[in-house]
Chains A and B, each alone.
Chain A
Amino acid sequence: DIQMTQSPSSLSASEGDIVTITCRASQIIRSSLNWYQVKPGKAPKLLVYGASNLHSGAPSKFTGSGSGTDFTLIVSSLQPEDFATYYCQQTYSAPYTFGQGTKLEI
């Protein structure tokens, strides 16, 4: 299975900040990398697919980049609704695997 490693596992930030979350795959996955936002009791939301494509309905404050094994999600101008847990996921080969998550806290 392809292992996905996110860093940091938790991150403290303030409203208005810009934060960067990284995700590393254990082997080359080209651009088969998606990012999700998860909040307790809510349906998870797709933010970015294919490493850098912003999902329709996701705010433009989310920017994904990278290819191969190293990927980045940048969240700009943090607002209260952005504090959540973020997961990367590879869909290069099954079983599709997620990172361990990055909890973004105030």
Chain B
Amino acid sequence: QVQLQESGPGLVKPSETLSLTCTVSGGSISTYYWSWIRQPPGKALEWLGYIFYSGTTTYNPSLKSRVTMSVDTSKNQFSLKLTSVTAADTAVYYCARTPVLFGLYYFDLWGQGTLVTVSS
């Protein structure tokens, strides 16, 4: 069955760039949208944005120009970059498959999440 797995550094220094990759196994990355979501400690989930397998993106405006998502169909992976991080970016980061059904988006398959801590 299809599985998603996040990977990347668990510790990032303030002002540096957070980089994460989500590997899709057991199925193709093509056809779907793919999202990034995060959850700061003790807080609610926050949708960061999504990328279509063709490379089209939509980002959460709250992140302004700090976020970039990309996709590598040859590796069945998609990635997240978040620049100029601060302690407020400390969170568990999830990737999720995002089907669209008659215009309704939903996140039907998630990775287990990876904790990223921003600290010097």
Question: What 0/1 readout, one digit per residue, does chain A (85-102) give for beta carbons within 8 Å of chain B?
Answer: 001010100111111110
From B74-82, B83-91, B110-118, the one touching the partner chain is B110-118
Contact pick for B113, options A32, A43, A98, CB 8 Å: A43
| Cβ of B58 under 8 Å from chain A | yes
Contact pick for B112, options A36, A42, A87, A97, CB 8 Å: A42
Chain A: interface secondary structure?
loop
| Cβ of A46 under 8 Å from chain B | yes
| Contact between chains at B106 and A91 (CB < 8 Å) | yes
User: Given the complex, which residues of A lie within 8 Å of B101, measured CB to CB?
Assistant: 49-50
Q: Chain B contact residues (Cβ within 8 angstroms of A): what range?
A: 20 to 34
Tell me the bound Cα distance from A49 to B104 in angstroms: 8
| Cβ of B46 under 8 Å from chain A | yes
Tell me the bound Cα distance from A91 to B113 in angstroms: 21
List residues of chain B with CB under 8 Å of any chain A CB: 4, 39, 44-47, 58, 60-62, 94, 96, 101, 104-113
9 closest A-B pairs by beta carbon, nearest first, are A49-B106, A91-B105, A95-B60, A98-B45, A43-B110, A96-B47, A44-B110, A34-B106, A100-B44
Contacts A46-B106, A50-B104, A97-B47 known; 6 new A-B pairs at CB < 8 A: A34-B106, A44-B96, A94-B58, A94-B60, A95-B47, A99-B44
